[in-house]
Structure 1
Amino acid sequence: MNIKELQYFKVVCEQKSITKAASVLYMTPQGLSKVMKNIEAQLEASLLIRTGAGVQLTESGKYLYERLPELLESYQSICSEIRCIEQRQNHEIDLLSAYGILRLVTPECIAQFKGEHPDIRFQYREYPDQEVVRRLVSGEGNVAFTVGDWEAKYLNSTFMERFQIKLLVYRGHPLSQRKSVTIQDLKGEPLYIESSEFHVQRLIVDRCRAAGFEPNIVFETSGFSLCHKMVSKKKGISVTVDFIFDDMKDENLVMIPFSDGEYCWDTYMLTRNGNTDNPDIQIFHDHVMKWISKVQKNPGLR
């Protein structure tokens, strides 16, 4: 039994289902079930009661789950500080980015940084919004771009840009002539949307439930592009943000603002709140923020 296995156990407890937890962790249910049985074998205890509806915690399972936060936070703090030291010494920028944000920041921004600072090793990887934060907290990367509300210890954040989330329909759809819509207009509509690992789905689902109904999600994707494609084929509706819509340049699509509140796609740059300062991270941070300011004044650069 190791720390990662205990982190998996925590996700199973939160999801109340091995199948749902496996989806969040990008594992097979069989593989995750094997990990749970391994933990139980090493502790010589039954932790989970498996039912048709999911899993329930035994008394021993509840005891372990209640004490996991302190254990995991202490471990993550140690990993965070050690990783900070190593990355500072290696002059390394390891960027974890939520899908879509590099398109927002633009490849030119990254290319210019690499050209101006050849002594800094730069690499990046892309993941869903929530996965980015999980990986940064667990010790991967040292800079992250992500979307939406977040709460995590040991992280600093810098607000980057805000975009309004808007409804996406095809021309000819009954809503396509509307100047604005409300969340109620989604009721019963076949909805193509990014998965629950993305801020946009959590926001839309929460708003629908607050309005008294469940959204009719027919397909979950890992990005806006497929949502645009399916709406263009008149398979359903979706949601999007301005710069993605402009980038797609699809004349068959119409974007409509919501009039019943703020529907925001907020982007943040996150860094680990370690005790060891990394001047290379500050250089990258300043470069990105300066570039975003430049693009906001001259949108044509994007």
Structure 2
Amino acid sequence: MDVRHLQYFLEVAKQKSFTKAAKTLHITQPTISKMIKDIETECGVTLLERTGRKAVMTDAGEIVYKRAQQIVQSFDNLANELSDLMNIKRGKITVGLPPMVGAHFFPKILGQFREAYPEIIIQVFEDGAKKVIHDVESGALEIGVAVQPVDQERFHAISFVKESLRLVVHPDHPLASKEEVKLVELKDEPFILFREDFALHDQIIETCIRIGYFPKIAYESSQWDFISQLAAAKLGVALLPETICNGLDRNKVNIVKLIEPEIPWHLAMVWRKDKYLSFAAREWIKFTKKLL
């Protein structure tokens, strides 16, 4: 048995079909059937039940499937490491950035990194922090920026922003002239929040619930500038990070410190502990760590 046997088995299990797996792998169906039969003979168990056109894993197949994934991943990691040695300082990085983070912290870094490493391609994906952390965990992204805290057993994390949320209201709002506002004072206000795939959406709601009320949600958006514009149009109150508030037009909105409790906005660059990082990704982490 070699790694190809396991790769073929994983594909059949994924497709639940010998025919589909053969097409995906660009080999003949008899070849893939023989590979699976070789594994079953060597292991002394049946891995796949052939029911009509479907191939369903047995209990033994489930066990082999889990181990095969780990072995194939290790083999891929080895291939990637060897490729780094042969193609040093070349490669591609996939990075996930929430819109607020990408717009305010990374344009300059991306430009300087491109100058230093013109052979490295950076693919940037903009999504809410919840989606970013999910994609890093699944392997769809190598590196992402997420809102702290993150699972320290699963992720490496480099913290680079520690701020709090501020209240954003129209200048005519009764709370606009105050220096500080307690979160409980917003109990009857319509909230303008980020969408559910943003970490701040849950964070704001959970904090409100913790002090005794569920916020009245008037609008949701994925764009911080649209949220501030809705607040400027007297359609509700918004809670935005300090960095964002610093760039808002003070003729259209007032910014008020939020207290009791403060809602933190702590950011970190994260990547999986158990996944191999390419040379390019490691250089990106080292480079951004210095600048951030």
Q: Residues 41-60 of structure 1, C-alpha deviation per residue, up to 9 Å, x if partnerless?
A: x9x9xxxxxxxxxxxxxxxx
Q: Give RMSD over aligned pairs.
A: 3.2
* Counterpart-to-counterpart distance in 2, 1:284 and 1:205: 34
1:198 aligns with 2:198: yes
Q: Given that residues 146 and 269 in structure 2 are in contact (C-alpha distance below 8 angstroms), is that contact kept between their aligned partners in structure 1? A: yes
- Equivalent residue for 2:20? none
SS at match of 2:259: coil
Read off the aligned partner of 2:160 and give its amino acid letter: M
Does 1:106 pair with 2:111?
A: no
- Cα displacement (A) at 1:186: 1.2
What CA deviation, in whole Å up to 9, does each residue of 1:122-164 have, x standing for no partner?
1111111110011111111211112232227542111111111
Q: Which amino acid aligns with 2:117?
A: H
Q: Which residue of 1 aligns with 2:238?
A: 238
SS at structure 2 position matched to 1:144:
strand
Aligned to 1:214: 214
Structure 2: distance between partners of 1:104 and 1:224: 12
Q: Indicate conservation of the 8 Å contact 1:84/1:274, yes or no.
A: no
Change (3 A) 1:82 1:260: farther
CA contact under 8 A between 1:160 and 1:267: conserved in structure 2?
Answer: yes
Q: Which residue of structure 1 lines up, in the alignment, with residue 131 of structure 2?
A: 131
Distance change (3 Å), C-alpha of 1:126 and 1:249 = same
1:254 and 1:79 mapped to 2: Cα distance?
56
- d(CA) in 2 for partners of 1:210 and 1:72? 43
TM-score, structure 1 as length reference:
0.67
SS at structure 2 position matched to 1:197: coil
Matching residue's letter, 1:251: N
User: What secondary structure sits across from 2:118 in the alignment?
Assistant: coil
The question of 1:280 aligning with 2:269 is answered no
* 3-state SS of paired residue (2:123): strand
1:166 offset after TM fit, Å?
1.1
Find the structure with the greater CA-based Rg: 2
1:2 and 1:225 map into 2 onto residues whose CA distance is 46
CA displacement at 1:221 relative to structure 2: 1.0
Unaligned 5+ segments in structure 2 are: 1-11, 16-53, 57-62, 84-89
- The structural deviation recorded for 1:171 is 0.2
Per-residue displacement from partner, 1:218-240 (whole Å, max 9, x unpaired)? 11111211110101111111111
Give a deviation string over 1:232-260, Cα, whole Å, max 9, x none.
11111111112212223342111111221
Contact 2:169 2:231 in 1 (8 A): yes
Q: Distance in 2 between matches of 1:104 and 1:251?
A: 21
Match for 1:286: what amino acid?
Answer: K
What is the CA–CA distance in structure 2 between the aligned matches of 1:245 and 1:2, rounded to whole Å? 51
Closer, same or farther in 2 for the Cα pair 1:222/1:74, shift >3 Å?
Answer: farther
**Unaligned stretches of 5+ residues in structure 1:** 5-41, 45-69, 293-302
Measured in 2, the distance between the counterparts of 1:202 and 1:172 equals 28
**8 Å contact 1:77–1:154 — kept in the other structure?**
no
* Change in 2 beyond 3 A, CA 1:153/1:99: farther
Q: 1:128 to 1:275 in 2, by over 3 A?
A: closer
User: Paired residue for 1:120?
Assistant: 120
* Identity among equivalent pairs (%): 17
- Secondary structure at the counterpart of residue 121 of structure 1: strand
Aligned-partner Cα distance in 1 for 2:274–2:225: 36
The structural deviation recorded for 1:76 is 8.4
Alignment partners' CA distance in 2, 1:256 and 1:2 = 56
Alignment-mate amino acid for residue 108 of structure 1: K
Q: CA deviation at 1:216?
A: 0.6
3-state SS, counterpart of residue 230 of structure 2? helix
Matches of residues 1-302 of structure 1 in structure 2 within 5 Å?
89=83, 91-151=91-151, 154-274=154-274, 276-292=276-292
| Per-residue deviation, 1:209 | 1.0
Following superposition, the deviation at residue 85 of structure 1 comes to: 5.8
CA distance in 1, matches of 2:139, 2:64: 15
Tell me the CA shift for residue 91 of structure 1.
2.0
One-letter amino acid of the counterpart of residue 151, structure 2: E
Cα distance in 1 for residues equivalent to 2:281 and 2:267: 18
Q: Which moved more, 1:105-114 or 1:149-158?
A: 149-158
Q: Check whether the contact 2:183–2:261 (CA below 8 A) recurs between aligned residues.
A: no
